[in-house]
């Protein structure tokens, strides 16, 4: 933890990690509250917090409340000093880079977008280096306090090594992205699947704070799912846990790029919707925006495409509820711009397939711009500082 600060023993001090994580995600918190939450003595909390205060990661707020009945002096809650360090987050899409600079609390301080000259690895790395330089050297003077960068990309990613095993929309295979970006930018790079990165942000800094279990389902170019169980993001032994986009929901459905048939993504992903709408209307030039407009105007054939997609998504979400039993499910993604065409069918598909009490799991709908996905990448980088 914080090896570059010279704190030394904090790298192996579980109490320091626990105290800092609790204050970061749920603070400000008093030492007494921390002791109760973490099962530590007040003395242990004070000992763990002292180096974090000395190095500027935590600070004491003005005393606000007494520590208990009959206690003497009021408590001084501990809070994170958000501007102690900054983090770059970049979301990589098939045709664009979206970058942010976040503080230690994952609040966005600066944003930038850059179209990709080409989707091949070399072109993306060149554009990414220029995007990061622009963010760090622009207003805010962030470079001097930025050591880490997070990258969010679709597909099969090994977060431990920074290897992109397979990214379907970029057609990348076995790209050592973390190593290459670290060399180009001079920053310690963490690479994560984009849906898991967004889930990490929700877990530490959003709707998932304090939840023992929740799921984040994303609707858009792909259909993804991030899972938190017992307070931990689930990756699985092979790093692909939560891939509900590749659950088969129609044995006679269309072929999927993964090699399967009838996958949720093959029915409800953006490209799948466009393909089906073109087939039904006989209009090969149709775009997703035009398909949405037709459906909203009452075109029954295109409306049926969105209905089928909504039912497939609802069935996938029900599978998550049945298997994991999350306390809540957040539905997000750029595809929610057309949520009015999906909503009733998603809920119908969910209620039809959810077993018993799983159908009572609340669905929270949160349309998010791509900057939030980039914030997720920054959140993963923050986590790599706190829990290497």
Tokens of residue 327, six digits: 């306390």
Residues carrying CATH 3.30.420.40, the chain: 85-200+372-386, 211-365
How long a stretch of residues is the chain?
Answer: 388
The share of the chain scoring above pLDDT 90, in percent, equals 55
Q: Tell me which residue has tokens 């994952």.
A: 106
Q: What is the dihedral of CA 226, 195, 383, 127, to 10 degrees?
A: 170
Q: Beta partners for 101?
A: 88, 110
pLDDT recorded at residue 74: 61
Q: Rounded CA gap, 300 and 294, in Å?
A: 9
Structural fold of domain 3-80: Arc Repressor Mutant, subunit A (1.10.10)
Which residue spans of the chain are classified as CATH 1.10.10.10?
3-80
Residues 272-326: pLDDT tens digits?
999 999 999 999 999 999 999 999 999 999 999 999 999 999 999 999 899 888 8
pTM of the model: 0.83
Structure token digits, residue 322: 């049945």
What's the rounded Cα separation, in Å, for the pair 247 and 237? Answer: 18
253 SS3 class: coil
pLDDT tens per residue across span 103-114: 999 999 999 999
How many CA atoms lie less than 13 Å away from 236 in the CB half-sphere? Answer: 13
Fold observed for domain 211-365: Nucleotidyltransferase; domain 5 (3.30.420)
Q: How confident is the model at residue 237 (pLDDT cuts 50, 70, 90)?
A: low
Give the CA count within 13 Å in the CB-facing half-sphere of 193: 28
**Between vectors from CA 319 to CA 315 and to CA 321, what angle results, nearest 5°?**
115
- What CATH class does 85-200+372-386 carry? alpha beta
């Amino acid at each position: 933890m914080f090896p570059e600060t010279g704190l030394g023993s904090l790298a192996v001090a579980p109490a320091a990690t626990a105290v800092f994580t609790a204050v970061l995600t749920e603070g400000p918190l008093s030492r007494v509250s921390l002791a109760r939450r973490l099962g530590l003595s007040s003395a242990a909390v004070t000992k763990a917090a002292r180096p974090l205060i000395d190095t500027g990661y935590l600070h004491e707020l003005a005393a606000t409340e007494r520590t208990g009945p009959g206690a003497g002096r009021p408590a001084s809650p501990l809070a994170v000093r958000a501007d102690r360090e900054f983090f770059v987050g970049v979301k990589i899409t098939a045709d664009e880079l979206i970058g942010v600079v976040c503080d230690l609390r994952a609040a966005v301080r600066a944003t930038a977008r850059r179209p990709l000259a080409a989707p091949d690895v070399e072109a993306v790395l060149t554009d990414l280096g220029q995007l990061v330089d622009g963010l760090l050297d622009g207003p805010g003077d962030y470079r001097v306090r930025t050591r880490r960068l997070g990258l969010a990309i679709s597909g099969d990613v090994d977060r431990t090594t920074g290897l992109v095993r397979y990214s379907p929309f970029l057609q990348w295979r076995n790209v050592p992205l973390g190593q290459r970006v670290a060399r180009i930018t001079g920053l310690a790079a963490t690479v994560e699947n984009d849906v898991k990165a967004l889930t990490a942000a929700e877990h530490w800094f959003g709707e998932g704070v304090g939840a023992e279990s929740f799921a984040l389902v994303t609707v858009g170019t792909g259909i993804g799912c991030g899972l938190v169980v017992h307070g931990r993001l689930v990756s699985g032994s092979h790093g692909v846990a939560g891939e509900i986009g590749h659950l088969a929901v129609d044995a006679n459905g269309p072929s999927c790029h993964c090699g399967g048939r009838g996958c949720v993504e093959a029915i409800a992903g953006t490209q799948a919707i466009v393909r089906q709408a073109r087939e039904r209307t006989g209009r090969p030039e149709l775009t997703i925006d035009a398909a949405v407009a037709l459906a909203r105007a009452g075109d029954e054939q295109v409306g049926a495409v969105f209905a089928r997609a909504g039912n497939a998504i609802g069935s996938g979400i029900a599978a998550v509820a049945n298997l994991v039993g999350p306390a809540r499910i957040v539905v997000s993604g750029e595809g929610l711009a057309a949520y009015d065409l999906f909503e009733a069918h998603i809920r119908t598909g969910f209620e039809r397939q959810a077993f018993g009490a799983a159908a009572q799991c609340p669905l929270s709908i949160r349309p998010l711009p791509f900057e939030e996905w980039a914030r997720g990448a920054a959140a993963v980088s923050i986590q790599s500082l706190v829990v290497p």
